[in-house]
Amino acid sequence: AFNFSAGPATLPEPVLRQAQAEMLEWRDARASLVELSHRGAEFIEVAQQAEADLRRLLSIPADYAVLFLQGGATAQQALIPLNFAEPGQAADYVLSGHWGKTAVKQARPYVDVRIAASSEAGGFRDIPPREAWTLTPGAAYVHITANETIHGVEFRGAPEVGEVPLVADFSSSIASEPIDVSRYGVIYAGAQKNLGPVGITVVIVRRDLLERAGQPRADIFDYRSHARSESMLNTPPTWNWYVLGLTVKWMLDEGGVEEFARRNARKAAMLYEVIDGSGGFYRNEVAPHARSRMNVPFFLREEALDKLFLAESKAAGLLALKGHRALGGMRASIYNAMPEEGVRALAEFMRDFQRRHG
Ligand code: PLP
């Protein structure tokens, strides 16, 4: 079967197999990795290797710290203003979908949120054009959502925002193509789409930003403390960190982000071609230049066919195609671990379904 879940999402089969084998007994430790101390030599090696591999995969410059944290992307949306904005300072948010609104909701208690631009009035079917953004002088940062997982709207490259740090939620598109990390002040991503299992979150932060005073906060909410303690301020999610490391290693072995960029472009094109060529039987309303390569939401002309589409696709081994409840319809999430063969099977199923019910 092919699993099109938006997250937690499908993992590469070799990763699952290796994790299964090593779950029972970790090399010659006579214990499972989940039973070993996070401060022991075995786990430290796993953690350091995962960081080194992630740095290589994403070409992360040395002046950026990489943190492995808990709390998901949502917790980072609250910690970002706490760490990088002074009390009462403004921060700019650009909204291109649901998750930008979540970021605003989490930030509001800590920062003077300014909506620099939003495509909500148009149903989040586009990125607000850069020339229409109103940036606030003296803002602590500009926040964007690189890929909107529900609305299927994706930035192509980093927008120009001048000196102010660009903070980007890359939860659903990290490692899907090469990016220039130096264009961003902070990149954060929950792991459960492209990086591995849920329960661990990656924060990539330019080190000079860690010098910012921010706001009064407990140690555990302080990125500086996490950086100083190499993400071991408290007990980290060791198993998740290990599986993340396996997933990153798998991506390197497959050819790295350049190779995934090629595969992902082909995969997305296959689905958009079926949708656009269906004469309206299927539709995706996102502006073509802003369409996501990771999450392809689509609607059937007749909503009455939704149930049948889901039942038949599931029977054909094409899982989790139901759209997010906020939007309805269908959604195919096609992250790095989704093989081209899975997308081809879905495209064929969609054509066949239309032939039978169109
Ligand atoms: N941001 C984006 C773009 C997401 O897709 C998600 C989850 O799907 C989140 C944030 C929330 O992440 P988490 O559940 O890890 O807090």
Is residue 72 lining ligand 1, measured as CB closer than 6 Å?
A: yes
Residue 134 assigned as binding residue? no
How far, in Å, CA of 202 to CA of 51, rounded? 10
| Residue 14 counted as domain residue | no
Is residue 99 lining ligand 1, measured as CB closer than 6 Å?
A: yes
Contact indicator for 135, 161 with CB cutoff of 8 Å? yes
Is residue 7 lining ligand 1, measured as CB closer than 6 Å?
A: yes
Same domain, 66 and 122: yes
Amino acid identity at 88: G
Same domain, 243 and 285: no
Q: According to the model, what pLDDT value does residue 273 have? A: 98
Q: Is 101 a catalytic residue?
A: no
CATH number of the CATH domain containing 239:
3.40.640.10
Taking CA atoms only, the protein residue closest to ligand 1 atom 5 is: 149
Same domain, 178 and 242: yes
Alpha carbon of 196 to ligand 1 centroid (Å): 14
Which of 216, 231, 253 represents a domain boundary (last residue)?
253
Q: Is 267 a catalytic residue?
A: no
Same domain, 270 and 323: yes
Residue range(s) defining the domain that contains residue 279: 255-357
Taking CA atoms only, the protein residue closest to ligand 1 atom 3 is: 171
pTM (global) more than 0.90:
yes
| Residue 130 counted as domain residue | yes
Same domain, 270 and 197: no
Which is the catalytic residue, given 53, 92, 126, 193? 193
Q: Is 239 a catalytic residue?
A: no
Which atom of ligand 1 lies at the shortest distance from residue 76's CA?
16
| Residue 318 counted as domain residue | yes
Which is the catalytic residue, given 169, 241, 267, 322? 169
ipTM above 0.95, yes or no: yes
Same domain, 233 and 265: no
Is residue 185 lining ligand 1, measured as CB closer than 6 Å?
A: no
Which of 237, 253, 269 represents a domain boundary (last residue)?
253
Q: According to the model, what pLDDT value does residue 233 have? A: 97
Same domain, 286 and 230: no
Same domain, 330 and 272: yes
| Residue 12 counted as domain residue | no
| Residue 334 counted as domain residue | yes
Is residue 145 lining ligand 1, measured as CB closer than 6 Å?
A: yes
Same domain, 100 and 184: yes
Q: According to the model, what pLDDT value does residue 1 have? A: 96
Per the structure, the count of domains in the chain is 2
Same domain, 275 and 232: no
Q: According to the model, what pLDDT value does residue 81 have? A: 98
Which of 228, 253, 278 represents a domain boundary (last residue)?
253
| Residue 97 counted as domain residue | yes
**pLDDT in 10s for each residue of the chain, 358 residues:** 999 999 999 999 999 999 998 889 999 899 999 999 999 999 999 999 999 999 999 999 999 999 999 999 999 999 999 999 999 999 999 999 999 999 999 999 999 999 999 999 999 999 999 999 999 999 999 999 999 999 999 999 999 999 999 999 999 999 999 999 999 999 999 999 999 999 999 999 999 999 999 999 999 999 999 999 999 999 999 999 999 999 999 999 999 999 999 999 999 999 999 999 999 999 999 999 999 999 999 999 999 999 999 999 999 999 999 999 989 999 999 999 999 999 999 999 999 999 999 9
Same domain, 199 and 56: yes
CATH number of the CATH domain containing 326:
3.90.1150.10
| Residue 7 counted as domain residue | no
| Residue 285 counted as domain residue | yes
* Chain CA centroid to CA 269, Å: 20
Residue 39 assigned as binding residue? yes
Same domain, 231 and 314: no
